[in-house]
Structure 1
């Protein structure tokens, strides 16, 4: 379990012990709005090592099991991502479910302006990941949309989420289409710039794999296209696709369908996502601007369907 002050003492002792016998944690910094996961600085053998500690409640470890399975697969395939250092799957030693990962170099902050190199790099990273073919499993489930933990389109249909005429019409249109076929590949499932690390315009890794699974490559590709359009404007989606196709070595199919699916799995009012966007440095973006950019992206997808 974590608190506002930081991870509990048992989790810190467990993490330090995985680094060395006489190691000790000298600082724990929250990486998401001041909380979990935590960047730990650990002193041992006369030097300091930085690692990332993620914790989960004892009754809610599904996402952690998914993250571990996805990272092991991604590491074997050479996808830039953290490496697993240790796992306490049942919380017996750490007092909570915990996983310890290597810390990646760089920053996840989203710049005000993106270079073409950054945008193409986003697409290329998704293509490298989506080249990993695999089959669904209990820890890597079948995915049909990004952000599997939420289904905003369903919630709007059932009256639990605010909607607009555009969102309702788009949902009806997309639901009337068959889901595209494609080879089952590893998908990150929550691929936006807040889950990427950068050293300048060089992407150093993909973070936060708890919504990973197996599905169509369009899930990740369109997630990044949408995120680029939200943060940099509609023209930014094009270079993301260019980078994906260049790295993948072929033309992406059914992009309009997956663009629409990605846009529909956002809240009716983007105010819900504003804190996360601001936490990544884009305090200039308001809910009004994000709503307008989401709607423009969705209309463009519908025009191509």
Structure 2
């Protein structure tokens, strides 16, 4: 979606018009992902909000928007750094499309070319803080057993002709039961592009549509893989150290398993992920580099799993 439809904009301005004030008016809009949806909207009175728009006929998107709306409320209730929900049209009946309106979190999601030790440690510590949400607050949410669970990466491996390494990893995971032990909130799609930063401080998590209940290793492996992809495999241990400090734990159970699962939650060729990563400031990362780093991370995880 390269522009905001008029009914959606009407819905937004209606929701943002304050009681006793003249009608809210739009001063400008900027796409936050590759120049498009979601949108940063600025009003003439100086306020700014974020708008996400989706297709009401798409069941996956309807479910994702519902999860996002609920998680924004949970985040506010339990002090998780994130945006706050302003309004949500879960069916498109009012806006003519799925629509979710939230506050703006200060900071940037641009991925630096070189990480600082402070950033890596904070990435892990902030991820550990998600486990502070009580399990009871997540009642009824879906159980997650891998990152970005709604995407059929196994099907992509079949269609795109996956490497022997990826197929061996798929078989290794299939032979093992999903670990169970310490369920809690998992973001389900953690990478630096879904976080906001002010300096070396993480100011908020965004894009909660893959969130649910799961084991801590799911998110920990995601940030480990992300560090390996963005900066190199040697940086995976730094974010793990930050997580262990923040959680007060000495280890993450079944981490080799979750590292393999995280690597399998990427496209075989990384072609789909490359432009998204480049849009977040890492134009230096091309497909071969990302595939090489992913495969090295996966090989190391497979050795530990065996």
Using structure 1 for the length normalisation, give the TM-score. 0.93
Deviation at residue 148 of structure 1 after TM alignment: 1.1
The aligned residue for residue 278 of structure 1 is 278
1:11 and 2:8 correspond: yes
SS at match of 2:86: strand
Deviation at residue 276 of structure 1 after TM alignment: 0.4
The aligned residue for residue 122 of structure 2 is 121
Say if 2:28 and 2:43, in contact at 8 Å, map to a contact too.
Answer: yes
**1-structure distance, mates of 2:179, 2:69:** 28
**1-structure distance, mates of 2:125, 2:15:** 34
Task: Name the Cα RMSD after superposition.
Answer: 1.5
SS at match of 1:7: coil
SS at match of 2:202: strand
Deviation at residue 137 of structure 1 after TM alignment: 5.5
1:103 and 2:104 correspond: yes
**1:36-47 pair list within 5 angstroms:** 36-43=37-44, 47=45
- Number of residue pairs aligned between Structure 1 and Structure 2: 296
**1:61-72 pair list within 5 angstroms:** 61-72=62-73
**1-structure distance, mates of 2:52, 2:145:** 26
**1-structure distance, mates of 2:241, 2:34:** 32
Using structure 2 for the length normalisation, give the TM-score. 0.92
Deviations 1:162-216 (A, max 9, x none): 2111111122122222221122211111110110001111111000111111111
SS at match of 1:109: coil
Say if 1:256 and 1:304, in contact at 8 Å, map to a contact too.
Answer: yes
Say if 2:11 and 2:95, in contact at 8 Å, map to a contact too.
Answer: yes
Unaligned ranges ≥5, structure 1: none
Unaligned ranges ≥5, structure 2: none
The aligned residue for residue 170 of structure 2 is 171
Say if 2:194 and 2:207, in contact at 8 Å, map to a contact too.
Answer: yes
Deviation at residue 155 of structure 1 after TM alignment: 4.1
**2-structure distance, mates of 1:31, 1:155:** 27
**2-structure distance, mates of 1:97, 1:152:** 25
Say if 1:162 and 1:269, in contact at 8 Å, map to a contact too.
Answer: no
